Amino acid sequence: MRNDDLPVGQLLTRREALTALGVTGLAFLAGCRSEKSGPADSVVYAATRLPQGVCVARPEEEEGPYFVDEKLNRSDIRADPATGEVKPGALLALTFNVSTLTANSCAPLANAIVDVWHCDAEGVYSDVNDPRFNSRGHRFLRGYQVTDAKGIARFATIYPGWYSGRAVHIHFKIRSAPSGPRGSEFTSQIYFDDAMNDHVHSSPPYAARGKRDVRNAADGIFRQNGSQLIIPVNSSGAGYAGTFNIALESS
């Protein structure tokens, strides 16, 4: 279900990337790691074969109305701490590979806080009061991890469902110095190939909701730059796995 020909970003020099992103203090870039990873990373890591100092820029996207700073430090975000109930859905092993750009090369970024939040198979977010639902007091499908010495943060979650008006997506926020100066955080969204969404959502519990009403190309937020934020996902055991590579430069 994977499409290795999908563009994952615009090739820019370091100076062009910073100018294009318009970020002061911190700029986030992707695909610059020199070490080789597994098959799921081959699209992004193709950038390492380019001349030194060339990276793939990842665009920032809006936070949306559903971010709640729960300060919930956990890798497996499927369960609701209030009830212990594990949200049903296809297992998704989601890995963030966070790096920093220094001296024209990328190195692992340790101790960065990576927050993740997304809807369940029925399109519901936790701990918010929405016109469609009130899930206050529940904290399923939310959590954060701190990157290790290799810049890795791993999450066990479910493949997200859909809700009306949006393409299938996962929100994330990376904070390298939460108490530091302005500009020390980056917020964006991860998307999936439409064919993969069709495949996963054809099975329970997603299938009960029917076909989603918005595909990627019809999502106004995705149309801005979402093609640069698609994560390659492969089947893995009883579920799926994907790695999202993103790097940061500090001015």
Spans of the chain, pLDDT less than 70 = 1-57, 102-104, 177-183, 249-251
pLDDT value, residue 102: 67
Domains of the chain are 10-250 (2.60.130.10)
pLDDT value, residue 96: 93
* Residue 59 parent element (H or E): none
Q: Nearest 5 degrees, angle CA 207-CA 192-CA 104?
A: 165
Q: How many C-beta atoms lie closer than 10 Å to residue 248's C-beta?
A: 24
Burial class (CB in 10 A: 0-12, 13-18, 19+), 1: middle
End-to-end, the C-alpha distance of the chain in Å comes to 39
pLDDT value, residue 142: 98
* Residue 35 parent element (H or E): none
Q: What is the C-alpha separation between 160 and 120, in angstroms, rounded?
A: 6
What is the pTM assigned to this prediction? 0.79
**Which residue type is seen at 28?**
F
pLDDT value, residue 80: 97
Could you tell me which residues come within 8 angstroms of residue 204 by beta carbon, excluding any fewer than 6 positions away? 88
pLDDT value, residue 206: 98
pLDDT value, residue 106: 77
CB half-sphere exposure, 208, CA atoms < 13 A: 7
pLDDT value, residue 177: 63
> Could you tell me if 12 and 20 are in contact, meaning their C-beta atoms sit under 8 angstroms apart?
yes
> Could you tell me if 242 and 187 are in contact, meaning their C-beta atoms sit under 8 angstroms apart?
no
